[in-house]
């Protein structure tokens, strides 16, 4: 008995004074990892879920990603979201047993082929993730969901938009269905989205516009009967739950694992039902202000499943549109012919027009 114990002791691994155990953390990469072109560059948007499994707090000091300058505490802090708690004064500190999500946005001159990640914690051995090969699948191309000009891509694709940070739980998992979502609002000459009484939905330029099928496909889900809101930051006609979040909506299957979600439709205006086969450009309903909405607009996103919450948001491209300019330069952008962009995804606060042939 004594001899056996001695052998086991002698062959046990020994750490030198210079060696350290790796940090007791879990670092998980999540997202579609499909790059998309926008404004002459390639972009990737995804998340790193970082969970501290230690009994003590750990401090995130640096994240290195291919194609990006190293992310340091100054650049990490604004992009770290702490699950289940308010943001601490030092976001890079992860308490024992807690998780933070780092929102990543990579921009490169050419389509990336692979990414490498190295995550460093204070006084710990760095964590190096396996090389991530970028899939060759390109974003799906869709037709415009609306007609006309002066459409603002509000809360559009960026690393800081409200949609980008909309992590929602479902089926025991956190999802980011709205990762590339856009709120389409129509602007008027004064730079406002309405004229007259701002408390009346019909005062808004976008209200009642036809919502068009972005591709031929099958209607797989609808919601109707939710009353409209009075426009305003806090005025909601119903309590907001997972069932009422999108208001009246349509989910259209447009390709394998690709679904288009149209939210906030006028109640009673739906022109389709579940199971209908529709053609690209067909009217699905009318733009309204139902559900979690402050004013009439179309919320549109493309996802990899039929559920607007428990699916993963994926990028998409418009074959062609006119980029009229940025909201910050509205006086020059309004009614502008704009720059022709082809096979791109418009970014946050661009003003678009969809009135070109053949649209």
* pLDDT digits 0-9 by tens, 249-263: 999 999 999 999 999
Instruction: Work out the average pLDDT over 140-144.
Output: 97
Model pLDDT, residue 257 = 95
pLDDT at 2: 39
pTM of the model: 0.91
Residue 358, pLDDT score: 56
Q: 98-102, 172-176, 265-269 — which one is most confidently predicted on average?
A: 265-269
20: pLDDT strictly greater than 70? no
> Taking 50 as the threshold, does the pLDDT of residue 11 lie above it?
no
Between the alpha carbon of residue 5 and those of residues 8, 15, 64, 106, 335, the distances in Å are 5, 20, 44, 53, 84
- For the chain, give the number of residues: 359
Q: 293-302: per-residue pLDDT in tens? A: 999 999 999 9
Q: Would you give the distance in Å from CA 208 to the centre of its chain?
A: 26
The pLDDT confidence band at residue 19, using thresholds 50, 70 and 90, is low
Peptide bond into 358 cis (omega under 30): yes
Cα 101 from Cα 68, distance rounded (Å) = 18
- DSSP SS3 for 157: coil
Question: How large is the average pLDDT for residues 198-219?
Answer: 98
What distance in Å separates the CA atoms of residue 194 and residue 207, rounded to the nearest whole number? 9
Q: Is the pLDDT of residue 29 over 80?
A: yes
What pLDDT sits at residue 1? 40
Q: Is-contact 83 101, C-beta < 8 A? A: yes
**pLDDT at site 357:** 66
Q: Is the pLDDT of residue 6 over 70?
A: no
Would you give the DSSP letter of residue 78?
A: G
The whole-angstrom separation of Cα 190 and Cα 83 is 40
pLDDT value for 52: 93
The confidence score (pLDDT) of residue 22 equals 75
Band the pLDDT of 66: cuts 50, 70, 90. Answer: confident
Q: Dump the DSSP string for 99-123.
A: EEEEEEEEEESS---EE-EEEEETT
Q: Which two tokens stand for residue 250?
A: 């349509």
**Predicted pLDDT of residue 123:** 85
Can you list the alpha helix ranges (DSSP code H) found in the chain? 2-11, 73-76, 330-333
């Amino acid at each position: 008995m004594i001899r056996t114990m001695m052998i086991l002791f002698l062959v046990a691994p020994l750490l030198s004074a210079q060696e350290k155990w790796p940090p007791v953390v879990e670092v998980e990469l999540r997202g579609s990892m499909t790059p998309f072109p926008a404004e002459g560059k390639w972009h990737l948007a995804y998340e790193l879920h970082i969970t501290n499994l230690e009994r003590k707090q750990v401090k995130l000091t640096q994240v290195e990603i291919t194609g990006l300058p190293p992310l340091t505490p100054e650049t990490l802090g604004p992009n770290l979201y702490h699950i289940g708690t308010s943001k601490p004064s030092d976001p890079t500190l992860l308490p024992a047993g807690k998780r933070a999500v780092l929102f990543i946005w990579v921009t490169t001159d050419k389509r990336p082929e692979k990414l490498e990640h190295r995550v460093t914690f204070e006084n710990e051995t760095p964590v190096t993730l396996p090389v991530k090969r970028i899939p060759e699948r390109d974003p799906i191309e869709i037709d415009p969901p609306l007609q006309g000009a002066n459409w603002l891509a509000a809360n559009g694709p960026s690393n800081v938009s409200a949609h980008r940070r909309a992590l929602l739980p479902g089926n025991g998992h956190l999802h980011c269905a709205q990762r590339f979502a856009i709120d389409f609002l129509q602007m008027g000459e004064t730079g406002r989205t309405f004229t007259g009484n701002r408390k009346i939905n019909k005062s808004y330029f976008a209200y009642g516009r036809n919502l068009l099928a972005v591709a031929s496909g099958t209607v797989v889900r609808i919601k109707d009967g939710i009353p409209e809101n009075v426009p305003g930051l806090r005025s909601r006609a119903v309590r907001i739950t997972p069932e009422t979040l999108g208001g009246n909506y349509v989910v259209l299957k447009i390709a394998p694992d690709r679904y288009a979600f149209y939210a906030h439709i006028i109640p009673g205006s739906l022109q389709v039902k579940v199971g209908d086969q529709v053609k690209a450009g067909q009217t699905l309903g009318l733009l309204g202000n139902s559900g979690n909405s402050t004013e009439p607009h179309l919320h549109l996103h493309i996802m990899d499943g039929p559920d607007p919450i428990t699916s993963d948001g994926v990028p998409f491209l418009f074959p062609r549109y006119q980029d009229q300019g940025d909201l910050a330069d509205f006086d020059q952008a309004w009614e502008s012919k704009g720059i022709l962009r082809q096979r791109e995804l418009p970014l946050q606060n661009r003003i678009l027009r969809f009135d070109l042939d053949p649209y």
